[in-house]
């Protein structure tokens, strides 16, 4: 068993002997993302640009708000909403309201704009990217490490 930086979290998840190592890894990834988004990254311009563009889903916004860093979360929410309002204003200026056909097209584009914004979550994307790396690491360890195959065989499997 050879530990490398990218394999340590996977090995630790298997050593916990929980119900599902992937669920353990997901909980850790969500906790790391919560810490990231409520920490110093609030003032990082690159992070703020991403948060403004994508925002958070309701579940993750609630997790961040409950984390106790309300000022930072409020600041991110404020600038994100300003970005949404700016996009909404552009849409309003672009589309004419006159006529049934134009009104229907405008309503559809407005609905599409808000549906697209609602489905985006920078927190979800960050967790998903982390889990994809963990899945790759699990496959890599399965292929290259006999001790890992033993650890998987003695685990409870995946849910």
Most distant CA atoms of the chain, gap in Å:
70
Predicted pLDDT at 139: 92
Q: Please say whether the beta carbons of 34 and 64 come within 8 A.
A: yes
Number of domains within the chain: 1
Domain membership of residue 1 (yes or no) is no
Domain membership of residue 106 (yes or no) is yes
pLDDT tens track for 101-143: 777 777 787 788 888 878 889 999 999 999 999 999 999 999 9
Alpha carbon distance 80, 49 (integer Å): 9
- Measure the CA dihedral 22/28/31/33, to 10°: -80
Q: Which residue has the higher pLDDT, 15 or 131?
A: 131
Alpha carbon distance 16, 59 (integer Å): 26
Residue 2 reports pLDDT greater than 80 = no
Q: Please say whether the beta carbons of 42 and 76 come within 8 A.
A: yes
Alpha carbon distance 17, 154 (integer Å): 9
Residue 96 reports pLDDT greater than 70 = no
Domain membership of residue 77 (yes or no) is yes
First to last CA, the chain: 25
Domain membership of residue 102 (yes or no) is yes
Alpha carbon distance 19, 131 (integer Å): 17
pTM score of the predicted model: 0.79
Residue 92 reports pLDDT greater than 80 = no
Residue 1 reports pLDDT greater than 70 = no
Domain membership of residue 60 (yes or no) is yes
Domain membership of residue 121 (yes or no) is yes
Residue 56 reports pLDDT greater than 90 = yes
pLDDT mean across residues, the chain: 87
Residue 5 reports pLDDT greater than 70 = yes
Predicted pLDDT at 115: 84
Alpha carbon distance 151, 159 (integer Å): 16
What is the band of 4 on the pLDDT scale with cuts at 50, 70, 90?
Answer: confident
Domain membership of residue 123 (yes or no) is yes
Give me the domain span that covers residue 49.
8-153
Predicted pLDDT at 52: 92
Domain membership of residue 65 (yes or no) is yes
């Amino acid at each position: 068993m050879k530990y490398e930086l990218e394999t340590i979290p996977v090995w630790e998840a298997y050593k916990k002997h929980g119900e599902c190592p992937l669920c353990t890894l997901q909980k850790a990834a969500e906790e790391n993302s919560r810490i990231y988004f409520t920490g110093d990254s609030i003032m990082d311009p690159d992070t703020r640009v991403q948060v403004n563009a994508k925002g958070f889903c309701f579940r993750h916004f609630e997790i961040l708000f409950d984390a106790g860093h309300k000022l930072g979360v409020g600041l991110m929410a404020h600038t994100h909403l300003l970005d949404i309002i700016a996009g909404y204003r552009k849409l309003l200026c672009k589309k004419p309201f006159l006529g049934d056909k134009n009104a229907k097209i405008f309503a559809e584009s407005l609905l599409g704009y808000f549906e697209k914004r609602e489905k985006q979550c920078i927190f979800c994307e960050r967790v998903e990217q982390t889990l994809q790396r963990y899945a790759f690491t699990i496959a890599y360890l399965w292929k290259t490490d006999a001790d890992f195959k033993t650890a998987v065989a003695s685990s409870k499997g995946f849910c």
